[in-house]
Chain A
Amino acid sequence: MAGAAGEIGDRAELGGCAPLNVSNEIEGVTVMTSKMVRLTGPALAGACLMLAAGLAPATAADELRIGVIAPMTGPFAQVGTDMTNGFKMYLDQVKSNFGGAPVKLIIEDSQGKPDTAVTKAKKLILEDHVQLLVGGVLAPEGYALAPVSTAEKTVYIASVPAADDLTQRQLGNYPYFIRTGWTSSQPHHPLGQWACEQGYKKIVAIGADYAFGYEVVGGFQKAFEDCGGKIVQKIWPPIGTKDFGPYIPTIKSDADAVFSLMVGPMALQFPKQLRDSGYTKPIVGGGTSYDEAALPFMGDEAIGDVSALQYSAGLQTPQNEAFVKEFRTKYGKVPSYFSETNYTTALMIDDVMKETKGAFPGPDQFVAKMAALKIVAPRGPVSFDDMRNPVQNIYIKKVEKTKMFGYDKDELWNVVIKTYPNVGQFWTYGKDAFLKQPVYSRDFPPCKYCQ
């Protein structure tokens, strides 16, 4: 009897049926627990074994365990698939071996909800004992996962969530947080500058009504207006809007162009409905309005529209060409930035692990080593600023129907028309000046030229 209880105690330590998390064991609660196990006897052993049967077994010490959180069901399932495919492709390339450490990848479905993302993150940390947490999609997921990483002392790599403040005003709260994607406003500062240089004087902004939309529109507006342009109207359709009928007629006709920020299915509907209404002026779009998660499903009405992001599948470099071709052969779809950023995240993790010869250096060291990396990814050269956000090229890209990379069909591609090299999250404003202003919101920057 005592022997059996002892065994259960051992299993608990290994994580097969751990009753408590690590911090509790330090406080000596395990001692009490194993006593209670002994008291409650074989019934418990049965229950415990039943539970253990469904769980991951304890893992070897030198294995690197990575938990990826992505929406595999719900409206963002396509994005989740793009993300995990990018990560898996890199693992396949290196045969799941990072600098000598075998990699165990565990994918959990966040269902696109912050609550569920937190629950699944805790499962990955407490049950599977992952050393690295990667992923999340929406900004709220990023905001939800970052505190978990602090509380559980586990590295969290935000490959997609773009909420500005995570690497700006709130970074101090999250010592184990690092971002490999982008901040919402990062590509849109250069885009505002570019739009101004095209001679646009007045632009109407129409964006999805939530924090990501405010930050994208805010970044564009700030740079555009600093250069002399005017945002004359802001329209905020709710996220998920599919019928823009009520919004399109209100667009001011004396503007030179429209700036649109659409996400998910909205991106497919807006250009179509705007063009159908007879609007012929240029459309400039935020990153997610025309990225390759949406572009393959768009029609010819999108041709000529311009957007900005840190990645384009149509980027003409040998490295990207090879990446696109391999991805397309494997998964039957052109990679989107969601795929590229997760592929690159895997590559960066591999680089750190090569440096440490396959030994996980602990969360502090890992974040420090990763932030010191300078690599060339499919998107181009990437390094990090001192707030653990990537410094990278921003591509201004135009939707064109063309043949690319030797594919024999005419397809829609985001053709790069201008590159802003090594763009950081603070653009040309400088870190201190930038951080003094509040985070971009519905009311900031204020719409000075709206009537």
Chain B
Amino acid sequence: MSPERIKVLVVIAVLVAIALVVPHTTAFVILLATRALAFSILVMSLDILLGFTGLASLGQAAYLGVGAYLTAILATRYHIGTGYDFWLVVALGMLGGAMLAAFFGLLAVRASGVYFLMITLALGQCVWGLAYRWNSLTGGDNGINLEHRPKFGIDLADPVTFFYLVFGFFALSLAIMYTIVHSPFGRSLVGIREREPRMKILGYNTWLHKYIAFVIAGAFGGLSGVLWAHTAGIVSPENVVLTTSVDALLMAVLGGAGTLIGGAIGASVVLFIREYLSTLMHGWQYVLGGVYVLVILYLPGGLMSIPERIRQWRAQPGKSGTAQNLAAAPH
């Protein structure tokens, strides 16, 4: 079996294990797992840009915000999304995220590197400004409360049912994003990441490729927002603020950029430390800081590179010999 296939099988096995084990843990762990899964979708969407296209965005929380505010406003003002029309809201959330990304992409995708970072940061802050100041629509700083989770045949107010729903969305998103990044389109994104001029010379419309990736990431950001709104039960400017975008970026890097599932691992680790460990000990911030520092120092490829590292470390004595042999072998 190819290593890639083994990886996929391991991920599937772990996901199945999570789906089986989590519902039997405590209510708090179920809640945290739900939060981690919902946020992971955002981090993975960012990874399409960061890890596969080489575009570090500092405004990804904007799409989460669009999805979340759309959900909250539709539910509280128009009572849309409380029954079967929840699926409509999911579609609208993704569409909203995609449309915002389509608009922002026109402004941002022309740039790259630090300039892309700064433009996305500025655009993200525009959305935050709207959320914070458009009091009549967003409730300003107080945010919007969602009184009830949707009910359609199944009652999502039940934490386990809701966990499975979010889990389903997570698994589906992962599968779709995985398919995208391994399609010829995804390959050309990696090509752009590695060397954009060469891709241009080869005849690729690199702007369009990047723009489409940007829009796809926005759509999944919107989906994550819809789920996040129902997970937390409250939508506030805190969800759209710069630190949420930074969180997403750090989580992607922590887990391992360019691996998709690494984003989910990063999100789980950070949320676990911040929300679970903080209930057990006082110095949790030092633990979080320590994890970041250690990963950046020793695992530049993120937590996902640990198996690779172990393999290297174990194979070292023998492998150095093989490497020499290979180098010595005639070409």
Contact = CB atoms under 8 A, between A and B. Distances in A.
Question: Which among B23, B132, B143 has the greatest number of chain A C-beta atoms within 10 A?
Answer: B143
Interface in B245-279: 274-275, 278-279
A118 B140 contact: no
A173 B146 CA distance: 12
Interface stretch (B28-36, B51-59, B89-97, B182-190): B28-36
B233 A211 contact: no
The majority secondary structure among interface residues of chain A is helix
A250 to B, nearest CB: 19
A135 interface: no
Contacts of B28: 122-123, 126-127
A44 B285 CA distance: 30
Interface string A1-40: 0000000000000010111110010000100010011001
Contact of A144 (B135, B140, B234): B234
Interface size class of A (residues with CB under 8 A): 35 or more
Interface string B220-264: 000000000000111010110000000000000000000000000
The majority secondary structure among interface residues of chain B is helix
B25 interface: yes
A407 to B, nearest CB: 31
Contacts of B132: 210
B25 A140 contact: no
A122 B31 contact: yes
Contact of A19 (B25, B145, B274, B285): B25
B202 interface: no
Contact of A123 (B145, B238, B279): B279
Interface string A103-131: 00000110101111011101100110000
Given A73-B285, A120-B279, A140 B26 contact: no
A148 interface: yes
A284 B95 CA distance: 49
A211 B142 contact: yes
A48 interface: yes
A118 B27 contact: no
Contacts of A119: 31-32, 35, 232, 275
Contacts of B232: 115, 118-119
Given A144-B236, A148-B233, A36 B24 contact: yes
B24 A163 contact: no
Given A73-B285, A147-B145, A211-B142, A122 B236 contact: no
Contact of B24 (A37, A126, A143): A37
A442 interface: yes
Contacts of B135: 211, 441-442
B20 interface: yes
A55 interface: yes
Question: Which among B24, B35, B157, B159 has the greatest number of chain A C-beta atoms within 10 A?
Answer: B24
